[in-house]
Amino acid sequence: MTETVATPPLAAKSLEGRRALVTGSSRGVGADTVRYFAEAGADVVVNFRNKAPRAEKLGEQLRELGVRALVQGADLTDQASVDGMMEAIRAEYGGLDILVLNASGGMESGMAEDYALQLNRDAQLRVLDAALPLMGEGSRVVFVTSHQAHFIRTTPTMPEYEAVALSKRAGEDALRERIPALAERGVEFVVVSGDMIEGTVTATLLNRMNPGAIEERREQAGKLYNVAEFAAEVARAAVDEVPADNTRLVGDVSSFGA
């Protein structure tokens, strides 16, 4: 954790006996979120795509907190890979209580033209469907997105991010369609939407392609959350009462026509 928050977002031992999977949790918001869960006593799953040493190091750190930490590599765009991860979770933990759909992308170079949609929509549904057999009544699904994606239908974003924003909104819409079916199973669902996050890979890439973008947005919003601060909001979303519209907005939204 490069930054810290003054007060832990979750009370100590408040998640004892709970099991949490955070996708894309070897670094950034995902890593801080999974750490907050572990600090609250949850057994956790650290998921990564291709940075095994970094994920294993985090897993070791989390085990030092006295919880179990399963480190699972999986390509979320591949069904067999996702199924393998869920089978490992079933074997180790017997089930899941919290699923945080944090992994996203689409700005990487050298990927297929529709990669953003594959990852930000199709893979989110794939992970949810594969995880549901492990999730019982009272469990929670959290989908992590950005204001730039959540409000893309009404507020344009910078051209460099538009394709990713549209794909993430498509993922959010597809997941929201599942809310009635999830409710029937007793599974709760919430979207956490945040502004640009200081220090993330996406923010760095956008600022490289569009110099000054982060500074401009910081000036508009008055404040941008850092990784640890936003992860704290994601962690709280896993336990706080679900808003009536299933949406937790983090930070200023006045310029998004909210």
- φ, ψ of residue 8 in degrees (nearest 5): -55, 135
84-141: pLDDT as tens digits: 999 999 999 999 999 999 999 876 666 777 888 999 999 999 999 999 999 999 999 9
Q: Is residue 13 part of a domain?
A: no
| pLDDT for res 213 | 77
CA–CA dist 223, 228 (Å, integer): 14
Could you tell me which residues are beta bridge partners of residue 247? 191
Q: Which amino acid is at 257?
A: G
Contact status, residue 239 vs residue 10, Cβ threshold 8 Å: yes
24-83: pLDDT as tens digits: 999 999 999 999 999 999 999 999 998 899 999 999 999 999 999 999 999 999 999 999
Q: Which residues contact 16 (CB under 8 A, 6 or more apart)?
A: 40, 41, 42
Q: Is residue 115 part of a domain?
A: yes
Residue entry with tokens 């599942």: 178
Q: Is residue 3 part of a domain?
A: no
Q: Is residue 233 predicted with pLDDT exceeding 50? A: yes
Residue entry with tokens 């750490």: 35
pTM value is 0.94
- φ, ψ of residue 157 in degrees (nearest 5): -115, 180
Q: Is residue 95 part of a domain?
A: yes
CA–CA dist 106, 157 (Å, integer): 15
Q: Is residue 145 part of a domain?
A: yes
Q: Is residue 2 part of a domain?
A: no
Which two three-digit tokens encode residue 174? 């597809």
What is the total count of domains within the chain? 1
Q: Is residue 78 part of a domain?
A: yes
Q: What share of the chain is helix, strand, coil (3-state, %, to 5)?
A: 45, 20, 35
Residue range of the domain that includes 174: 19-250
Q: Is residue 199 part of a domain?
A: yes
149-186: pLDDT as tens digits: 999 999 998 888 899 999 999 999 999 999 999 999 99
| pLDDT for res 1 | 45
Q: What is the CATH number of the domain that holds 148?
A: 3.40.50.720
3-19: pLDDT as tens digits: 667 689 999 999 999 99
